[in-house]
Structure 1
Amino acid sequence: MKRIEMLILLARRGALGKKIKITLRELANELGISPQSVLRLLEEMEEEGLVDKEVVGRKTYVEISHEGLTFLENLCDAISEALYNGIIIGEVISGIGEGAYYVRQYAHLMREYLGFEPYPGTLNIRVLFPKTVFDAFCGVRPVILPGFVKDGRTFGDVKAYRVQIEDVEGAIVIPSRTVHPPKIAEIVAPVCLRETLGLRDGDRITVRVVKG
């Protein structure tokens, strides 16, 4: 664990692609260990090929090696795979009242591409986890609802990601020109989700992204 903490600390200090000057005392304070333990840790990491260390007089310079960078990248991938696995935790909020209008405009495409008759309205949630709604869709292909022109007005493409809330299947829809920040998700479904699931503003729900 201390090796990971040390690599992250060195990366934050800029030891990427160049050697930086470090002091054992500063690293010890940040890691919560003694300077002697820091020195021993750096020596062990150098032997393992995770860092390159150079001592010039009384000054010590350290750089994360290629092996060290690969270790961090693999760790990052593993953490992302464990956390961002298609789970969205959100808080129910009220929309701005435009959801019903747009669902009606795109209803024929939702029937064709998503396979259900949408309830004329959306359930809006504020995403609490992960950081943004897009993080949950990593590696997931959206269903594209193609844009069209109606009564002289242009309606752009919409990305739809199939999701499930309890036993209800629906989709998170993201217009190509969305006015919502990435922390807000709009969900369409064949039923009124608020009524079916007994939801009110402030309720916390879990949304599962349907993959494949």
Structure 2
Amino acid sequence: MQTVPTPTTLVGRVQPGKGDASRWLARFSAAYQGKLGIAVFPGSLNLVLPQAFDWHSAELKPHLIWFGREDYGGERDVLLLPCRLRSLGVQRAFLWTTTTAARERPDPEVIEIIAPLGLRAAFGLQDGDEVTLEVPAGWATGACGRPGVRSAHSLPPVREG
């Protein structure tokens, strides 16, 4: 009998973004809805984790959704990872990144979350607030990390932006 892996719990802090996601998510809204089966709010919620998030972990590959630029008419390929926002009413959402950012992001501990609604407004989130989410089992951190619960107490301070 095969057991179902337990999702990995992550805790991050809300931090400001650059507003760039809103432009791309609005522009390709219909394509995202077709790919994901849900409407996506034109904007992302940025969270800073205590350690780098490894998009290229072998354990994540079965759970990743590849959204090629040829599929939606964009400039870059996109990776999505289903998640549930436990501290926000178990809201269904997705971690979202371009493949370029997954490889070369200067701040790999920052993840962007997209959802059917504006998470800041819907849940009254402010910079520095903690958000708990679950991702499929096998989430990997940088070389010094290990799977499991990540506490926001060890997070770096929120960047002003």
| Structure 1 length-normalised TM | 0.52
Q: Answer 1 or 2: which has greater helix percent.
A: 1
Residue number in structure 1 paired with 2:59: 139
Matched residue type, 1:173: W
Secondary structure in 2 matching 1:113: helix
Distance 1:144 1:107 in 2: 16
Cα distance, 1:200–1:162 mapped onto 2, change above 3 Å: same
Deviation at 1:135, TM superposition (A): 7.1
Matched residue type, 2:28: Y
Residue number in structure 2 paired with 1:198: 124
Deviation at 1:137, TM superposition (A): 6.2
Q: 1:163 aligns with which of 79, 83, 98?
A: 83
* 1:96 pairs with 2:22: no
Cα distance, 1:138–1:87 mapped onto 2, change above 3 Å: farther
Structure 1: tracts of 5 or more residues without a match? 1-80
Distance 1:117 1:190 in 2: 5
When the two chains are superposed, the root-mean-square deviation of aligned CA atoms in Å is 2.6
Deviation at 1:198, TM superposition (A): 1.8
Residue number in structure 2 paired with 1:183: 109
Distance 2:55 2:20 in 1: 25
Residue number in structure 2 paired with 1:87: 9
Q: Answer 1 or 2: which has greater strand percent.
A: 1
Distance 1:132 1:94 in 2: 18
Residue number in structure 2 paired with 1:112: 34
Secondary structure in 2 matching 1:133: coil
Matched residue type, 1:161: L
Secondary structure in 1 matching 2:49: strand
Point out which structure has higher relative CO (alpha carbons under 8 A, 6+ apart).
2
Residue number in structure 2 paired with 1:64: none
Secondary structure in 1 matching 2:100: coil
For residues 13-50 of structure 1, the C-alpha deviation after alignment (integer angstroms, 9 at most, x for no partner) is xxxxxxxxxxxxxxxxxxxxxxxxxxxxxxxxxxxxxx
Cα distance, 1:121–1:133 mapped onto 2, change above 3 Å: same
For residues 101-160 of structure 1, the C-alpha deviation after alignment (integer angstroms, 9 at most, x for no partner) is 1112332332122111111110001112xx21227966132001111385xxx5111000
* 1:126 pairs with 2:48: yes
Structure 2: tracts of 5 or more residues without a match? 138-161
| Structure 2 length-normalised TM | 0.67
Residue number in structure 1 paired with 2:95: 172
Identity %: 21
User: Larger Rg: 1 or 2?
Assistant: 1
